[in-house]
Amino acid sequence: MNVRNLHKVATTFTLLILTSQILIPMASGANPDDGYPQGQPAPGRTCPNSDEGTKNISEFNGKTFICTMINGTKKWWIEGEALPTPSAPSSGGQTSNTQGSGANLPTAPTIEFTHTYILPASSLAKMNVFEDVVYSKESASQRLDIYLPKGVKNPPLLIYIHGGGFIFGDENAMKFDDPAKLLEVFIKNGIAVASVNYRLATEALFPTGGRDVKTSIRFLRANASKYGFDSKKFATLGDSAGSYLALMAAITGNQKTVFDNPKDPNLKTSASVSAVFDLFGNVNFLTMRANNLKYPCQVAVDPNFAMDPNVNPWFGDITLPANRPAVDSANLYPYLKASKSLPVFYIFHGTADCSVSKYDSIELDKEVKALKGKSFLNLVPDEIHGGPKIWIEVAKFVPVLKKLFGTIK
């Protein structure tokens, strides 16, 4: 086991999202454009005498400027354009932010976590394992692990995407605690599992992590015969932030989106999946915020009690006009409605969740069914974000997924 990963476990995301409130990137200042006349708004010029949010139409070029708080200083910026920042430091295969040049990268907190369960040798003995498989070479973070059930020829594949608020966790989450127990259930049911690592917001902002997930799915399908699983039988599963990514992959499928990496050598390979397991996730960050405000959490025992619904490591403050284009493009509902072949949705949510409201899952279930799709909504009474009872319910649906795979020829 790689020691550097022992503390990076997806089940810590409940603490992580709370602490990340003080780690969200703030937009950085911009270099003023000298082509603008003096005394008029220009990108990066200060607006000390205007209220934040004030709009001004430029007499120079007719563009609308908004007085925006940038690194503690009010400055003019063009409405709808992302705020530029320096690129992320180049080191060890890391890449710069791909959210335009949106914001400074956040840093992840160091959180110590005591594991309640570690995947035992007796379970590993039932698997053929491929670790640190490189699915792309843009970053050292683009790797995954594959777990194959021994004695099963050409098994279906479940693709697991870890949670962690977009700033924490890695593919080794599959080896610990509730994900490890779930892995054992998948293997017992003859289903292979791939645990995907992706670039976090600490390395690159939206939509990079999403692109990595789509790239990994295409890689897995292109290399199915090499590793020995069925390329026609794929499903995704994610928890929390990983659930958004799992839903994104399942909903967008082969549609052209911001999540497709133009440099992907397997770009023409199908990225579709047959099913998705959504564990306390969301599909729209604006409605997620709205639901948290409309249905304020009353469960003080949840680590995310009283968290700020406006901040997200992937975007920064989602209420800032400069961040809205990215936030809007992350909304998965338009892709859901445009999909020609919906996957089956298995949705799980605790009713006492203080991070992502249960109403996010209720709305998704309603939308899928309105489109004549198949959705199974499982609300777990009195369970918090990431609580163990949710994972127990998920395990009960693994045989259901196995049966679904059996219908695919």
Measured between alpha carbons, how far is 393 from 243 in angstroms, rounded to an integer?
Answer: 16
Q: Convert the pLDDT of each residue in 231-271 to its tens digit.
A: 999 999 999 999 999 999 999 999 999 999 999 999 999 99
Q: Is 295 a residue whose pLDDT tops 50?
A: yes
* Domains defined for the chain, CATH in brackets: 3-21+110-406 (3.40.50.1820)
Give pLDDT, residue 161. 99
Q: Which of 66-70, 85-89, 107-111, 371-375 has the lowest mean pLDDT?
A: 85-89
pTM for this one? 0.77
Measured between alpha carbons, how far is 142 from 212 in angstroms, rounded to an integer?
Answer: 7
Cis peptide bond N-terminal to 303, omega within 30: no
Q: Convert the pLDDT of each residue in 158-168 to its tens digit.
A: 999 999 999 99
Give pLDDT, residue 402. 99
Question: Mean per-residue pLDDT for 324-337?
Answer: 96
Question: Mean per-residue pLDDT for 269-274?
Answer: 98
Split at pLDDT 50, 70, 90, the class of 222 is very high
Reduced to 3 states, what is the DSSP secondary structure of residue 81? Answer: coil
Mean per-residue pLDDT of the chain: 85
Give pLDDT, residue 99. 52
Q: Which of 15-19, 80-84, 173-177, 362-366 has the lowest mean pLDDT?
A: 15-19
Q: How far is CA 284 from CA 200, 329, 387, in A?
A: 19, 9, 22
Q: How far is CA 287 from CA 214, 319, 332, 356, 357, in A?
A: 24, 12, 11, 10, 10
